[in-house]
Structure 1
């Protein structure tokens, strides 16, 4: 059923979009435009905002696998609750339902399922499109992360900097961000990381740069950062785990796969950059030599 934690309501809408009628697609777009808040009011209010009839709302809810609109709305409320859960609340919820198996096994099972569900949602076209933007040397690439995800942004930046020039890691202090935006030109790329408890500064940066013609590649979670509506390419990664914190394992998997795709497509240039970098390492004696 669409309300299971394996799939969000938004996932269900996207999966079944081609099967919807014109009116149902109009309704679906209205829901996704301000998701999930748009679906939390009355059925009449949602129908009016979408420009459809209330029976259309009921029909689409059933097409998504729900018994009716109240059941769909309950799923949306559960998703909203999950997105704003504090680390303490998350830990308590997991601890209450934790099975009698070792944490290593429980965590491994959760991460494996996250990977399986994420791969089902990522389209080849989406992945290849993001890789194409990143390997285009006519575009400068800027990378930004949030309070926790900045470590992922740093990891992504460090590897991509070896592959190509024109990379900038945006400092965590948002007061300096206008200085970076000043250097961005139309067609450049911003790679942003934003997961639940979504950060206002990341959304404002995304709004500012996309208005200037910058392409946004977004790494977010299954519920989707508010910045997702602005993204040229968006990766919705499953992040829940039996922990007070969300898991970054699958996000890192997608990041590394994307780095590998860009490196493979630009290997002749990347290989030469790596050769020069190794010479610089030798000159600076940054690494210990055993022979």
Structure 2
């Protein structure tokens, strides 16, 4: 155990090893692997029986995972995750207005819990993206021939917003699928030199996964925005931007996702330089002219 305590990089090394070995694991070990990668804090905190309950597997399976990853036992596997919590546990300062909400009865409690969760999601999501990774993603997009952006269901709204603003810095940005097509139909002419951004969150869209697989086969670089980087063992993205989507209700809370998108947009506009600024000004001028036209015609 002392050897583990002295190696502050062991948690990240273990996660990398899990991802590398994932395709060869049995279904039950894959379930455990995904849980560890997606819930590193819980894995570091919970005892073996609680982790087994959350994963829906036996404690024996957890021990087998530890052995598979080269650890002597389960506690040796858990220890680097537990130690990482000492220095990296996210904390959100609770402002006074949160306490005021709690004083407002049952609905106030609901609003306060949702507000605290929203603030926490933004913090956790942003702190997971390093400046180096965000710069790599931005430059990959700026240097791409064509950029495809795909999402379905609830994720589509965020993709639409990203496309609406992002095309100012990325004129070749295309939101797919368009009309009644499938995303794969829109990727018919995609190839090397192109990049695809895919947004998907649990439960992951089969259509989006198939589009990612198809794009990778065509040589398209893939950027994933998701709540996990263990989406499928059938493809590997160049970059994955991880957002926390835990909510206080029955559906995902996407404020962390929007925060990541906003950060990426800010980088793209900044790195886009004068050309991006000119496109933004041109769009703003167009809106002013359009508004002036409607006001003038309304008077008549």
What TM-score, normalized by structure 2, do the two folds share?
Answer: 0.67
Match status 1:30 vs 2:21: yes
| 1:179 to 1:251, Cα distance in 2 relative to 1, 3 A | same
CA offset digits 1:13-64 (Å, max 9, x no partner): 987234x6xxx9756732598684255573576478x4x6672665323333
Picking from 180, 187, 206, the partner of 1:181 is: 187
1:148 aligned residue: 154
Match status 1:60 vs 2:77: yes
How far apart are residue 107 of structure 1 and its match? 1.0
1:33–1:229 CA contact under 8 A, matched in 2: no
Matches of 2:74 and 2:179 in 1, distance apart?
A: 44
How far apart are residue 267 of structure 1 and its match? 2.6
| 1:26 to 1:142, Cα distance in 2 relative to 1, 3 A | closer
Matches of 2:239 and 2:136 in 1, distance apart?
A: 7
* Structure 1 stretches of 4+ moved >6 Å: 32-35
Picking from 168, 192, 214, the partner of 2:220 is: 214
Picking from 203, 209, 212, the partner of 1:203 is: 209
1:130 aligned residue: 137
Give the length in aligned residue pairs.
Answer: 240
2:63–2:73 CA contact under 8 A, matched in 1: no
How far apart are residue 176 of structure 1 and its match? 2.9
SS in 1 for 2:168: helix
How far apart are residue 272 of structure 1 and its match? 1.6
Match status 1:106 vs 2:100: no
Q: Which has the larger radius of gyration?
A: 2
2:71–2:77 CA contact under 8 A, matched in 1: no
How far apart are residue 201 of structure 1 and its match? 0.9
1:198–1:226 CA contact under 8 A, matched in 2: no
| 1:276 to 1:173, Cα distance in 2 relative to 1, 3 A | closer
Unaligned runs of 5+ in 1: 1-12, 67-98
Unaligned runs of 5+ in 2: 1-7, 34-56, 84-105
CA offset digits 1:247-281 (Å, max 9, x no partner): 11111111011111100111300122123334433
How far apart are residue 102 of structure 1 and its match? 2.9
1:71 aligned residue: none
What TM-score, normalized by structure 1, do the two folds share?
Answer: 0.69
Matches of 1:255 and 1:208 in 2, distance apart?
A: 24
| 1:156 to 1:33, Cα distance in 2 relative to 1, 3 A | farther
1:144–1:193 CA contact under 8 A, matched in 2: yes
